Amino acid sequence: MRRVVPLLALIALALGLVAPTAGAEPARAAVFSGTGVWIDIWDALEKNPTSVVTTAQQQGVSVIYVETANAKSKVDVVNPAPLKQLVTLAHAAGIRVVPWYLPGFQKPKVDQRRLAAALAIGGTEAVDGVAVDIEATYVKNPKLRSQRAGALVAWLRATYPQTPIGAITPNPTSNYWPIFPWAEIQKNADAVLPMCYAPRKLSPQAMYTMTAGCTQKPRDLTGDQALPVHVISGLAGGLSAANLDAAARGARDAGANGFSLYDLATTTAAGWTALSTWAAG
């Protein structure tokens, strides 16, 4: 369906009175909404797509986030055969699949190639989006590291203009990057997925406050209060039932568009209850 733009808005845009909209496009951002599960290359589950999809289906999960490689991997895609099967099985079950890659920002061309490979894991069965995990500090110069991270997200948008793009970030309330490419993320990504992990053993109230702040902070840092945010809480295996519940409520009350736990392999019954709490609104 074509979007109809009022004549006055077009005139204002032409005269430079308003800026063109940057960042998230609603249909693309929707890919990162709802509940999710996470799998990394170290998980045995990555080689068992049937189990992953069965669990996701049983728990009413909207999207499966699966790591394809990291900067230290010897190949562009780890476990390509089961990942291809995962895409097919998940789509048959009505579940979205978003591959993610952890770049090192040391070799920009390698990072680009591996993101392209991540997008191709389904073969003829296209994945639903892609996420860039912006956390590695192999590049010690903060300014250069931030420039390369921002440039990678910009390259991804320029190369794949219609692809839903998510930016996985450190906890923005305690980010260890002194310079972070928030402007480039706001311009080129469709959603931010902050790793709202508990830095230490917290009380449930502190967990709630931290998660709510982690949800709101990317919007403040980008200046975009409508920025779609999918909260990743965790680490799932180290959180009590009370803290899992507090994280879900904190993300929900702060208006997170999505909620998940890192990771699937360590999610307990209390974790699934937390996802249900968030989903229930």
Any domain includes 7: no
Domain that holds residue 56: 28-280
Residue 71 phi, psi (nearest 5): -65, -25
Q: How far is CA 56 from the centre of its chain?
A: 17
pLDDT for residue 199: 81
Sign of the CA dihedral running 25, 152, 223, 33: positive
Any domain includes 13: no
- 272: its two tokens: 């699934």
Non-local CB neighbours of 173 within 8 Å, separated by 6+ positions: 210, 213, 214, 217
Any domain includes 125: yes
CA distances from 142 to 109, 170, 180 (A): 20, 15, 8
Non-local CB neighbours of 56 within 8 Å, separated by 6+ positions: 37, 64, 90, 93, 95
Strands 230-234 and 258-262 turn out to be: parallel
Total-model pTM: 0.91
pLDDT for residue 22: 46
Non-local CB neighbours of 92 within 8 Å, separated by 6+ positions: none
pLDDT for residue 24: 64
Any domain includes 20: no
Any domain includes 183: yes
pLDDT in tens, the chain (281 residues): 333 333 433 333 333 333 333 456 899 999 999 999 999 999 999 999 999 999 999 999 999 999 999 999 999 999 999 999 999 999 999 999 999 999 999 999 999 999 999 999 999 999 999 999 999 999 999 999 999 999 999 999 999 999 999 999 999 999 999 999 999 999 999 999 999 999 878 999 999 999 999 999 999 999 999 999 999 999 999 999 999 999 999 999 999 999 999 999 999 999 999 999 999 99
Any domain includes 170: yes
Any domain includes 45: yes
Q: Is the distance from CB of 166 to CB of 32 less than 8 angstroms? A: yes
CA distances from 114 to 53, 118, 130, 262 (A): 24, 6, 11, 22
* Total structural domains within the chain: 1
- 164: its two tokens: 């839903």
Residue 187 phi, psi (nearest 5): -75, -35
Q: Is the distance from CB of 83 to CB of 99 less than 8 angstroms? A: yes
Any domain includes 207: yes
pLDDT for residue 25: 85
- 109: its two tokens: 């061309």
CATH assignment at residue 77:
3.20.20.80
